[in-house]
Each structure stands twice: as structure tokens, then as C-alpha cells.
Amino acid sequence: MLRACTIHKGQCSPFPSIPKVAALRAGDYWQAALLATPLRNKGASRWCELWGNQSIFSGTKLRKAAYTKGTEASGLQGSVRCTSLAEVERVEGIPYTSGMAPKGGKKAAPSQMRKMLPMSILEEHVLRWDADEASRKHAFPSLSFADATKRETALEGGATGRHGAAFVPRCKEKNDMQITEMEFPLGTSFYGGGEVSGPLERSGTRIFAWNTDAWGYGRATSSLYQSHPWVLVLLPDGTALGVLADTTRKCELDLREQGLLRFSASAPYPLITFGPYPSPDKVVAALARATGFPFLPSRWALGYHQCRFSYETADRVKEVAATFREKQIPCDVIWMDIDYMDKFRCFTFDKLNFADPKQLAADLHEQGFRAVWMIDPGISATPGYFAYDSGAQQDAWILKKDGKPFIGDVWPGPCAFPDFTIERVRQWWAGLIADYAAEGVDGIWNDMNEPAVFKVINKTMPDSNVHRGDPGLGGRQAHTHYHNVYGMLMARSTFEGLQQARPDQRPFVLTRANYIGGHRYAATWTGDNLANWEHLHFSIPMVLNLGLSGQPFSGPDIGGFVGDSNPRLYGRWMGIGALLPFARGHSETGTIDHEPWSFGAECEAVCRAAILRRYRLLPHLYTLFHRAHTQGLPVASPLFFADPADPTLRGVEDCFLLGPLLVAASTDPASPADRSRLTLPKGAWRSFDFADFHPDLPLLLLRGGGIVPAGRAIQHTAESTPDDPLTLIVSLDENGAAEGLLFEDENEGYAYRSGGYLLTTYEAVSTSGQVTVRVQKTEGSRARPRRKLAVRLLLEDGVEVTGDGWDGEPVAVALPSPQQLQAMVAAQQNQRKTAVAGPLSEAGEDEPVKGAGTTKTIVEMASGAWLLRVAPWAGGRIVSLVHAGSGRELLAGTLDKGGYEEYTGTEYRSPGCTEPYRITAREVEQLDGEDAVGLEADVGGGLALTRRIAVPRGMPDVVQINSAIEARSIGAGSGGFSRLVCLRAHPSFKLANPANAVISFKSVRGDDVELTAEFGEATLRGDDRPNGVWTLSNSETGLAIANHFEIDQVAICFVHWEATSVNLELWSQERPVSAESPIQLSHYYSIKEISK
């Protein structure tokens, strides 16, 4: 019998007189009492004892062992760990390095958290932390820093000691992993992590930095397309710091424990801390000084972009372009997805449908459009295809561990993949890009570069593949080392190819996969999102967290890529998306058309107004991008940037800042944005619009003290000229003053680098009944154009007064008297009441509404030994499971949480546990006792979670549950495979006193195992899993519940104890599903009475 327990936080005495942890049977006799590391925020030390004097493992002796916090006791066939974090696992084959030695031997030091070694780098307030000197010496080169040598160079005159660091990281090594922790005060908020779905504030979540093709991702998907092992830490007083785990390898960012930041990745890696600084914007700016400033895009790249998978012919492309101009909806860019290629082979054009790409580009250019074309990394492994032949000649491919080129399936079929870690391969690729650009290509879209591979469980290439990297990148390494930077290195090579083709123009590259620092080369978007309200809501926090992680140029697929949108959803999304840094509509093949005119005349009008707003505000947006390029600040910022110390702003997800301009949106389908419901920063925030108010458009508010430049309405950026009239929108602060910036250059090229620009600071000052707007100062050698200047001075309740003049000369605006202002406010309110249109329609008559067919009636099942109650509308959960014989309730939970629920991800309460389920079948056969109910829920991304709960015929003491994650509508954009999913059964069994309960089973290995509440969490994998059945016995109730399951369907058995309950969870393998490969989980519960 293998039995063990753990001392929990706050549950053990600070004195050594604690219960013995018994009993490991071993061929040797051991006795130990080892001092453990003091628990977090506790002054007292804890003790852990091990006694063993019996035989175990069929005569195999237990290897030398120690039990203390954070160390392992390893047997030849298993191990147990004692830890204050209440986690247990088996680790085979660990060398004896710590803890207890045989009698008379020498005890090694236990693996405990220790302070890391600091070194000042780069500038004041930036510290590099390493586990020790050896780790510093052996750390891999930085691929995030713009200049990797700066991470290795101590700051001249900087201290290498504690340097007065307010927060000192600690680390330990475990199983070749380095675990690093930093503690912060209660009330600290965490942000960043790059491209993450779900909430803006990342506190309470976990992220895995591992680039993953995540088609149809959900709120709990923990790995998306990009990796940013970076956290912005906002302290309770509004000061902030940033923490970067500078590793390219898979990295866990664990923010689930309040005030605790934990990174876990392959050892060794340094931690880089930035700050603390007085405000979070200074943290992001400091990050940019390390990782490099973003590129300054050409002005056309800031216009509206239209895309679809796919516009399948050149004629269709020209038709879409012509419709934009006919309907006077502004647009600058049309995109070509993969169907333009000949048999999906990169650098080729379909000979029938895109026979003359140069002429197509010329036709688009004539109408003021640019063309962006997709290029993937997979090169069709077809001899005779020029890209494959030249790559083979260059020895350009990633290799398998046997030294042969790796071949994986993507769109063209079998493909080879360039090894972008090699300089000569990057140069070869850049040459292909340069030749390709000559065909009329204005910009390039790098897709599928995680790298994605079809028909494999992990959706990428094997970890064992070999990259022959440059020494400065890390040299020859397995794919695990370079996986996260593959997309960034591809984007870099593409960027350099466009530079080579057109040295006098700024390249435009959009990449799906990236790594922190990749903003130097490419913009990005938030991946294959869904056409639903949840993903509309994701759009804002995802863009904001990318900005907080150094990537200012991002946006969602407006309208949603996967699935069909509807008028209200599409119009609302366009209103928001048109004001995010990157504005592109995109949709998947097989969906209805998603152009701005596709949802009726009213939605078309809303979309036109939304996009015209963007073009009117382009002078301001371009200025913000210049600020990002020169200072490293985000273009779109979270609301708490306006007042970092205000805790009410930290979780606001439906508003964002564009400098002093606040965009207040609504992602609630039932209600438009409403100022009365907004959470606003302190100070004056004055509303304005462009005579385009509509309930489905965001509200625009300008902070007191801000000036925003605006231009005239245009159809594309080439229509604008330096002489166009300029409008300054002004909102005075409490002192009657305001200030704002305008950056201007040629909108293209690099003359700005040598002074060929004009940066104007405008100011507004109020004196005796009027406000004067004038130029305060200028920078740059570019001459000021002779142009008209209009001033819109915002007052209260949407009222404004105006003035006109010439740019460069003072413009005076007369202020109304109090009586005049009162009359103006009343007139404005009356005008608004009569002018307000109703909101757009939401669902068409034939459009299915999520949750249709569900019922709010409890389904009751009574048969044999059980009384069950199921709530279909509340996550399909079993809310009650009563033992008929004793009348005891066996489940702990409510309608909202607990009971028996299922998830479709590895994260707690991921999709599946809150969605409404519809009843697909109800079977009651009283004759032989059969009672069953079938349930089904849409869990997003084309997936359904199905469940059949039954008391089978002739088995009255059994409850059978058969569940599956099934692919229902997996789009072509995924290659037929869903996002990574895991079917996780999560029952919560009720316990009056956990001390009276024990979980027992025979493991796959053959051990008899018992787990108690003192044992804590248990994650059982491989041969440590129960061999098809485990039993929860409760001596207090006299009942034992056995859970029987198919061992080949279960990858992990997980135990988690609470004060009054315990979870015995079954997890499937985590993998994508297709129509042919659902994930299934079949198991049943039986019950029997035992002696008390």
C-alpha cells in the first residue's frame, strides 16, 4: 500500500509535533524529519516526516529519498512529493540529488526557492535576474531584444547587487524546468501576455506561451498564435513594472494565485524586470527600448482593409473594389487569400483566375487600392516547382532528427518548411519575396506560420525536428527551442525581402504567428475568431493586451471569421473595429458575404459612417503611430492609463483610449453604448461625433485638456493632400487649457528619418470670453501647408462652438454666455431625440439563436439506487445526485457551479459548463428501469459537447455518462481540424469532513494506492492512473462511490480537495477534433454501502 499526505497551508502546526506521514513500504528502513521552506507569508516553518519500514514494488527497493517542500522522493518505479502547494506527482528515474541519505551518509541540500542574481542592464530601472552565475553563462541568446548584446552587458556604473529592487524574484529548478516567482501586494493587477483571449485583466488566469493554430478559439484557450512571456504588473497605488521571461521555449505564465506571478520554462533563462515606474505607459515604453520600436507604417496601411477566404477570381476582386467606390464606402486595401495561387503553391498565381496579377494590381492602383497577398511557410514538396527546387538546392529545409527534410501536410499537400533560423535561408526567402513583389504585390500576409501542420494531434511539427540555427540565435537546436520564434523569423525575412524590392517604401507585413519583439517587422490580427457577440467582446481586450506587450498594430477580423454574422453584430463590430489600430473585415469560405453592404441598407449606412470616422481621424491615428514608433507607446490603451490608481478602471473592457480620445462601445447585443452607464476616469470627458450618431456606433469622448486633429472625409488615403482643410477638436481642462499633436510627412518612405516631417504642438488657452488655438512649437524641416483650419471647441452635453482661420495662425473662438449655453444644451437634446435611429436588427427569421431548444425545467431521473436532477439550461449539469437508500445528497454545487459538469479545455470552467444545452432525447422505459436523457450544447468554434446520462437496463445502482466533443461545422480555414480541446469531467462530491474520506485504486503499474485529503491535489498520468476504476469511500456516511472508465479514453485523473468536497476528474487527451475523430469519454458511477 502506497500512502502519503501533504501539510497544507495553514493546516499544520508550526511545531514538529505533527502527524507522521505514513507509510511507504521499502526495502530499506528510512526515518526523516526535514525542515521545509516557510510557507508564503507565514513566519513559521513546517515539518514533514516520513517513516517507512515495509516492502514495496514486488521486492524492488525504494531509491534514496527525501520529503520536504519542493523535493521528490523517487523510487525505481515511482515517487511522491511533499509540498505546501498541495500537489503530488510521480517522477521516474530522477537521480538522487537531495534530501535524505542512508544512515551515516551526507544529506544534500533540498531544492528550495532562492533569490535570483541581479545585474543592471540597458538603463536605470532595468534588471536582469539569473538563477546563478552558471545559469547566466549558459542562457541562450535573446531573440526578443532588438540588440541581444545589451542583455548580456552590465550597465556601466550600474550596481550588480540588490540595486534597491522593490521586488526580488526567486527561483528553483525541478525536472530541468526553472520555476520563477515574484510576489506583489494584494490589490495588484496583471496584464499583458500578448495575444490572449478572455478578460483584459489576466489575474486569476494561466497562459501557455506556445504558438498554436487555434481556429475557433474560446475564452479559456490558453495558447493562441503568438508568444509573449511578458506581464505588466499594476500595483495598488498605480505604479507599475514589467516582467519578461526571456526564453523562446514553451513557457507557462501562471497568474492564478492572488499577487503571485509564476513563470515555468526549460532552464536556464533570465528574468528581465522593468521598473517600478510611476505609471504603466512608462513600463511599455521601457519594454520598447529593449525589444525595439515598432515600424512606422505607410499611411495607406492605416486605412480600411477588405478580405475574404477567398475572392476566387480577379474579376471578383475588381467587382468588390468597384462596389466600394460606387457605394462611397472608404477602403484602401483588398486582400488575396490562398485561392489566388496555383494549387496553393506559394509564389505562384492561378493561370486561369489570376492570369495577370500585374494588370490586376494596376487596375486596383488606378482606383486608389493596394493589394496584399498571402504567403505561407509550407513549400509544396513537388520536384519541378521552382520554389521547392531552389530551396532544396539551398539546403533550406527544417530537418527530422534523422537528418532528412521534414515533410508535413498543409494546403498544397506534402510540404517542406524553410529553416528561418539560418541566415542564408532568410536571404534566399527574401530574394523570393523581392521577385514576387515585382508582380504588383503591395504587402504580404504571412499565415500558418506557427508553423501549422495538418493531420497531427499537436497541429505542428514534431518537437524533435532539427533547426541549424545561427550561433547568434542559439545554434543547432530541436524545434522546441525555435518553435515560438518561427513566425517572427519568417516575418523578418519577408519584411527584408520587401525592403530589398522597394528600398524607398515602407514594407507592410501581417503575420499570424509572432513572438515578443516581432512588432519590429509586422502587424498582426487576433486570428480565426467567431462571428458571435463573445468574440466581438474579445476584440478590445485582445488588442489592448497586445499593445501592453509591445505590439501596437493589431485588430480583429471585423464581423468574425468563422460563421455568419448578422446586421446588428456586424454593424456594432464595424463601429468598434474601424477605430482599432488595424481595421480589416475578413470571413471564411462557406459563410455568407461579409462586406459592409452585405446586411442591408441600414447596416451599410452604419458601416459607411464607422469607416468614415476612421478616415476623418486618420491624422490623429497616424500621429499615434508615430508616437508608437518613436516612444514605444500603444496606439490603443486601456482605460486605466488615464488614472492607474483608480481600481474601478482596471477591468473596463468595452472602452479604450486613442491618446486623449476615449472610445466607449457596447458589446451587449441588447443595449447600445450609454454614457450614463460608463465608468469614466476622473476629469472632464466631452462627447462629440461627426454628425453620424447611431445607437450601434461607439460614443466618442475627448478628455479635458486634449486636442485631436481630424481631416476631411475621403474614400482612400491617396485622395488626401497636404493642403486639405484641418480640424482641431478641443476640450479644455479645469484651467481652461488644452494641448495636442499632429505628425505629418510624405506618408511613405523614409524622409522623416532625416528631418522630412512636421510635428506640430497645438495649444488652446482661454482668456476673457474666448479661447485661442495656436501653434505652440514645431519640429522637423517640412514646410507647413497653406490650409484652412477649423476649431471645434467642445463644451457640455454635446454642445460645441466653432472658429475658422488658417493653420499656423491663431484662431479665436468666442465662448457663449451661461444663458446661451443653457439654450444650446436644450436645443442639442431636442435635436438628438428627433434624430436618433433605432438599433440594427440582430437575427434573421431563419437564423438559429444559440441556446434554442433549451428548457429551464429540471429533468428528474429516478431509478434504482439513484435520484438525479439535471439542469439543461445551466451547463447541462447534474445538480443533484441522491442515494435513494440513505437519502444522502452526493454532489456539492448549485445551479451555477459545481455538481457534475464538463469542460472542453484543460482550464477550470472552460467552455461546456455554462452554455445552455438542448435536450436531444428523453427516454423513460419503466418496464426494465431504463431512464436516460440526451443533451447537446454549442461550445463555439464549430464544436458541440454531447452527453447522454442514463441508468442502464438491469443496472439500477449505476449512472452511465457518455460524452463527446464533436465537430459540427469546422471551417476550411482550419484544414478540417478544430482548436485543441480536452473533454474534462468535473464532479464535485460532497464531504462533511474530508478527514473521513479516502480515494483508493490499483494503478496501471499495479500499485495499490490510497489518497487522502492531507495528500492534496494529485495529477495522475501514465502508469500512475487508476486502472479503469477508482473509489471514493466515506466512513462517515457509510457509502463508497466507484467511478469506472475506459482507460484508453483518459489521459489524466485529477484529484482536488476542498473544505467540504472533492473532485475526481477524468481528462481526455488534449487534441484537435475533426468530423471523423471526435473525443469520447464513457464512464459510470456505482455505489455501495460500507461499514462506518
The 3-class secondary structure across 288-306, one letter per residue, is HHHHCCCCCCCHHHHCCEE
By 3-state DSSP, what share of the chain in percent is helix, strand and coil, each rounded to 5? 20, 35, 50
Q: Please state, in angstroms and rounded to a whole number, the distance separating the CA atoms of residues 1064 and 1041.
A: 11
Buried/exposed code over 142-163 (b: 16+ C-beta within 10 A; e: otherwise):
bbbbeebebbbeebeebeeeeb
Unique residue bearing C-alpha cell 532528427:
401
Residue pair 261/129 in contact (Cβ under 8 Å)? The answer is no
Q: At what angle do helices 386-393 and 423-437 cross, to 10 degrees?
A: 150
Distances (CA, A) of 191 to 206, 243, 998: 12, 11, 40
Active-site residue, 423 included:
no
| Closest C-alpha to 31, from 4, 60, 48, 51 | 51
Backbone angles phi, psi at 317, to 5 degrees: -60, -45
Residue pair 1049/979 in contact (Cβ under 8 Å)? The answer is no
Indicate which residue of 281, 350, 419, 450 is catalytic. 450
Indicate which residue of 181, 447, 496, 557 is catalytic. 447
Residue pair 491/522 in contact (Cβ under 8 Å)? The answer is yes
| Residues whose CB is less than 8 angstroms from the CB of residue 1 and which lie 6 or more positions away in sequence, other chains included | 23, 25, 1008, 1009, 1010
Strand partners, 182: 261
The full DSSP string for 315-354 is HHHHHHHHHHHHTT----EEEE-GGGSBTTBTT---TTTT
Q: Please state, in angstroms and rounded to a whole number, the distance separating the CA atoms of residues 213 and 976.
A: 12
Cis (ω within 30 of 0) for the bond into 451? Answer: yes
| Closest C-alpha to 2, from 76, 52, 41 | 52
Q: Sort 404 into a burial class: Cβ within 10 Å, 0-12 / 13-18 / 19+.
A: exposed
Active-site residue, 734 included:
no
Indicate which residue of 332, 528, 588, 696 is catalytic. 528
The grid coordinates listed for 1083 are 464512464
Q: Could you tell me whether strands 443-446 and 370-375 are parallel, antiparallel, or unpaired per DSSP bridges? A: parallel
Residue pair 419/396 in contact (Cβ under 8 Å)? The answer is yes
The 3-class secondary structure across 777-845, one letter per residue, is EEECCCCCCCCEEEEEEECCCCCEEEEEEECCCCEEEECCCHHHHHHHHHHHHHHHHHHCCCCCCCCCC
Residue pair 503/518 in contact (Cβ under 8 Å)? The answer is no
Q: Please state, in angstroms and rounded to a whole number, the distance separating the CA atoms of residues 206 and 21.
A: 32
Distances (CA, A) of 890 to 506, 809, 1054: 66, 80, 19
Unique residue bearing C-alpha cell 463644451:
795
Residue pair 789/807 in contact (Cβ under 8 Å)? The answer is yes
871: enclosing H helix or E strand? strand 866-871
Active-site residue, 463 included:
no
| Closest C-alpha to 1001, from 1030, 1023, 1022 | 1030
The grid coordinates listed for 962 are 457518455
Unique residue bearing C-alpha cell 499593445:
547
The grid coordinates listed for 470 are 545561427
Q: Please state, in angstroms and rounded to a whole number, the distance separating the CA atoms of residues 719 and 781.
A: 24
Q: Sort 362 into a burial class: Cβ within 10 Å, 0-12 / 13-18 / 19+.
A: exposed
* Cβ atoms within 10 Å of 465's Cβ, excluding its own: 24
Residues acting as catalytic residues: 447, 450, 528
